[in-house]
Amino acid sequence: MRGAAALLSAARTPDGVWEVVRATGLASAPVAVDDDMRAALRLGGAQQARIAGGVGSFRVLALQLDEGATLREALQRIARRLTSSAPHVLWLVGAVERSGERAAIVAWSGSERSARVASFVWEPDRVV
């Protein structure tokens, strides 16, 4: 429990969020998302993104949101865009607000119009 609390408390950057994901063992080592890949995935509103592969078509994305972006709205938009641009991929997205005040891990299934979203949101300053 203390190890999990320490990971969640340290998740104030994309690297910190990545450490939470890495602890699950779901993906290989991440690589930085360059501008071309960011455009192809339609990740406007996100910066410092990293991506990694998992088993089959499973992919993990960790990113930091632009200043002023709220987790809920930004992640809904990113989920719609990823579903639209890469519908064959199963995504797990970890994100942190630029301020580091809140972080989340999100996954979804279904189509762009009828996606079922599951999320885990936390405040790194308030993990007990």
Longest dimension (CA), the chain: 40
Q: What is the pLDDT of residue 114?
A: 60
Read off φ and ψ for residue 77, nearest 5 degrees: -65, -45
Q: Would you write out the chain's pLDDT as a tens digit for each of its 128 residues? A: 888 999 999 999 988 988 998 888 888 889 999 989 988 888 877 888 999 998 889 999 999 998 887 888 888 888 888 988 888 899 999 999 988 999 999 998 766 566 677 889 999 999 98
d(CA 86, CA 102): 27
pTM, full prediction? 0.87
Please say whether the beta carbons of 95 and 46 come within 8 A.
Answer: yes
Q: What is the pLDDT of residue 32?
A: 92
Pull the structure tokens for residue 90.
Answer: 């199963």
> DSSP letter string over 58-70?
EEEEEEEEPTT--
Work out the angle between the directed axes of helices 14-24 and 2-9 (0-180°, nearest 10): 150
